[in-house]
Amino acid sequence: MSKPVILCVDDERMVLDSLRMQLSTAFGIRYTYEGAEDAYEALDLIEELDGDQISVIVIISDWLMPGIKGDDFLIRVHERFPKVIKIMLTGQADEAAINRAKKQANLHCCLLKPWSETELLETIQSALSQL
């Protein structure tokens, strides 16, 4: 059986690389760490993984990305995969977008960039403990 996936979505490659490094250091080989540079790529990846019967259990998404903003992306994911834990990591989301994601996508938490690695990992741990 394949390992569950933690998916990071951000249009900045450096952010994706940092997140993957922090996650793999903290959680080791328990999970697979995937990245997508925009919401469309992420949606395709989620569908592909689902087709292979691999579960995405956590999504960490930026808000301000080309194409689809993070709140809209997370709402789309929630409509199809409501059990996925959704975390927004952004430096630019407005309060309305965050509230919309909380109400319509069951957003677990919104963290601000630059993020604290400790806060990020504690947020993910608390979310995973609810599974």
Q: pLDDT digits over 93-131, tens only?
A: 789 999 999 999 999 999 999 999 999 999 999 999 987
Structural domains counted in the chain: 1
Q: At what angle do helices 70-80 and 39-51 cross, to 10 degrees?
A: 20
pLDDT beneath 50, residues of the chain: none
Query: If you count them, how many residues does the chain have?
Result: 131
Q: Residue 19 belongs to a domain with what CATH number?
A: 3.40.50.2300
Range of the domain at 69: 5-128
Contact 2, 52 (CB under 8 A): yes
Helix (H, G, I), strand (E, B) or coil at 84: coil
Question: How many other CB atoms sit within 10 Å of the CB of residue 114?
Answer: 10
- Residue 1 has a pLDDT of 66
